[in-house]
Amino acid sequence: MPSEPPHPSRTLYSRQSRAEHAAATVTLRRPLKDIRPRALHLFARSLQRQVARGRSFDCLITGDGEMRRLNRDFRGQDHPADVLSFPAPGSAPYLGDLAISIQRARAQARQFGHGAEQEIRILMLHGLLHLLGMDHENGDGRMERTERRWRSRLGLPCGLIERVQP
């Protein structure tokens, strides 16, 4: 029986222990001139307070190469994804990890007529809802309704689920 890869928090970040911090974090794999790290960090903290009810998470903004590797290693799909969610094992104040592709975010932002930073926010909300246990592929519409409600409250444009529905 093949061994399962380690949880992404052991491979995505250099922090020692997820339990050591209580604040949501955003890590950019490299500096990006069109992305304001502080603005994304403040948005993540807002999501932590409002959507996650104080529970923390970490978000990595990276490239398609790393996203492809993560998607292949953890989901068995050999292509980059726009956002991946990795729930933490057990039920703790730490929800888990998100990984977002800057290339996918930029392409989707162009397609839908807003900036890459705005698209990252949409992807971060979507990924966080997955960390909270919601699923749009096998669900009853709960995730879609929740995403729509939070997008409205947070002033975000059309979300991922609405984009793929007929």
Residues 133-140: what's their mean pLDDT? 81
At 1, the amino acid letter reads M
**Whole-Å CA distances, 61 to 53, 93, 162:** 23, 22, 23
The rounded radius of gyration (Å) of the Cα atoms in the chain is: 15
Domain boundaries, the chain: 9-157
- What pLDDT sits at residue 14? 41
Q: Taking residues 14-27, what's their average pLDDT?
A: 62
Task: Report which of 49, 85, 92, 46 is spatially closest to residue 67, judged by C-alpha positions.
Answer: 85
The predicted-structure confidence for 59-77, as pLDDT tens digits, reads as follows 999 999 999 999 999 999 9
Which CATH superfamily does the domain covering 9-157 fall into? Metalloproteases ("zincins"), catalytic domain (3.40.390.30)
Rounded distance between C-alpha atoms, residue 142 and residue 136, angstroms:
8
